[in-house]
Amino acid sequence: MGVWAWSRTINMTEGPILRNVMLFALPLVIGNILQQLYTTVDTLVIGAYCGTTSLAAVGTSAQPVEVVLCIFLGIGTGVSILISQSIGAGNRQRANSLSRTACGFVWSCGIAVSVLGILIAPLILQLMQVPEDAMDLAVTYVRIVMAGSLGNIGYNMNAGILRGMGNSTASLFFLMVSCVINVVLDVALVAGLGMDVTGAALATCASVYISWIVSIIYIRKYYPELDFPLFTLRAAGEDLKAILHIGLPIGLNHSLYSLGHMALQALVNSQGSVFMAGQAVAGRITGVANIAVSGLSSAATTFSGQNYGAGRYDRLRQGYRRIPIATGLITLAGGLLFLLLRSPLLRLFTQDETVLMYADRYVSVVLLGQWMFSVFNSILCIVNGVGLVRFTTVVNLLMLWAVRIPSAYMIRAWFDGTWIMLCFPISFFFGMCCMIGYYAFSRKWKEILQRPNPKAPA
């Protein structure tokens, strides 16, 4: 494919808006497929060689890992927003300083997070009400995956830097490398050596570290102007303050969101290992069907950030509606396609008829409502891209803690606990309405859209 194809950037301040957004999002969408393949391969191999208890342990272990790591994923988004604004404004020196500060932050926090995650894994899983038959396996899986936190944080921070630069193809290359390693090690350690969930966790941990190392080499080779270090603990005070000002609310939001999902997972776990396995299998299908959301949302953030930094308010006025509509339609089409194919796809993971029944129910309910989440998330990312993160943080938390979790508990109390997935479309609708309302009524947003372009002739 050549060096140019992997190192090219997309200038969101010029050219057709939707074409640029789609071109930027395409590698991220493919990368999301590969990320889903990570967990899907784990599930396929565990389901084929280890049984229902191991499958339930792997399925329930994702949430505690996310709670610890999501705050840093949000900070990486903050780095991406600030770099995209710097690139839009033509300030390469600021982009350089931000990337070096991000590197120092990774090394300062990554090791501490790994140690903390290993220590608190049993406590978190107990709070999640993981059944006794799956507890030991779940603890083993979480501890090994948390040992990879440094690599996970480092990779996501580097991916944020590249997205801010307008480069989304590099992340696809990193994920291709990581995915191949993960698949090979999964088959070798679990199927070949019979290491059960330990083998699956080791495969994930190793692939994450290798992906991080590859991303460091890539940035140093193709973006020498960033002067990106291999190791540093230094961080520019003003840059770190700016990163945390934008990224920390997003990160705390992500972390509290994952904590809320743990509360939901506790409801799932209370239905027993068979229902847990059904939910874990269904999550692989709904995750793949939802691949366009995060890719297009990242593109929306970069579009918003670059054009805001460049003062191209005319393009913000053109894109702020087009992008959510396109994202919603793509997600709806993907959801309907996977809904038609759900039965044969689910049988790839298990032949247990009860597990399949619960999985089919979950997939049908969630897929029909994911387009609303797509519209909500793309609007949220456009607003975040200009640095207005306060309202989006509040709405995200309300959508989870005031709508999704209470509705799930009410469904279990008043109806049937095996239908708690109905809480997802209910919360998606709430979030979408809030963000559309922000477009319609926010004075700050209207003021930004009404600004003239600074470089436009008088």
Quote the CA–CA distance of 126 and 132 in Å, as a whole number: 9
- Mention every residue, 6+ apart, whose C-beta is less than 8 A from residue 136: none
In this predicted model, what pLDDT tens digit does every residue of 205-246 receive, in sequence order? 898 899 899 999 999 988 888 888 888 777 777 888 888 888
* CA-closest candidate to residue 371, choices 347, 403, 339, 348: 339
> In Å, what is the CA distance from 180 to each residue of 27, 185, 187, 202?
17, 9, 11, 14
CB 303 within 8 A of CB 385: yes
Q: What angle do CA 122, 127, 132 make, to 5 degrees?
A: 65
Dist. CA 112–CA 146, nearest whole Å: 11
Encoded tokens for 312: 């191209």
> How deeply is 262 buried, as exposed, middle or buried, from its count of CB atoms within 10 A (0-12, 13-18, 19+)?
buried
Contacts of residue 237, Cβ cutoff 8 Å, sequence gap at least 6: none
pLDDT of residue 38: 64
Cα distance between the two ends of the chain = 45
One-letter amino acid of 342? R
User: What span, in angstroms and rounded, lies between the C-alpha atoms of 430 and 444?
Assistant: 22
* Other CB atoms within 10 Å distance of the CB of residue 424: 23
pLDDT by residue (tens digit) across 404-455? 999 998 998 888 877 888 999 999 999 999 999 999 999 999 999 999 987 5
Phi, psi of 44 (to 5 degrees): -60, -50
Give the integer Cα–Cα distance in Å for 351 and 47: 10
The predicted pLDDT at position 37 comes to: 67
Cα–Cα distance between 318 and 151 in angstroms, integer?
38
71: nearest Cα among 119, 35, 113, 29: 113
* Domain spans in the chain, listed from the N-terminal domain onward: 12-449
Give the CA-trace dihedral at 399, 403, 407, 410, to 10 degrees: 140
172 to each of 5, 86, 133, 302, how far by Cα in Å?
Answer: 11, 23, 38, 17
Q: Low-confidence residues of the chain, pLDDT below 50?
A: 1-7, 456-458
pLDDT at 455: 55
pLDDT at 94: 87
Using H for helix, E for strand and C for coil, what is the string for 340-367?
Answer: HCHHHHHCCCCCCHHHHHHHHHHHHHHH
pLDDT at 8: 61
In angstroms, the Cα distances linking 396 to 12, 38, 195, 402, 443 are: 26, 27, 39, 10, 20
b or e along 69-96 (b: 16 or more beta carbons within 10 Å of the residue's beta carbon)? bbbbbbbbbbbbbbbbbbbbeeeeebbb
Q: Which two tokens stand for residue 299?
A: 């593109």
Matching residue, tokens 């796809």 = 345
Note the pLDDT tens digit of each residue in 299-330.
999 999 999 998 999 999 999 999 999 999 98
* Structure token digits, residue 358: 């619960």
Alpha-carbon distance 163 to 81, whole Å? Answer: 9
Taking the model in full, what pTM does it have? 0.76
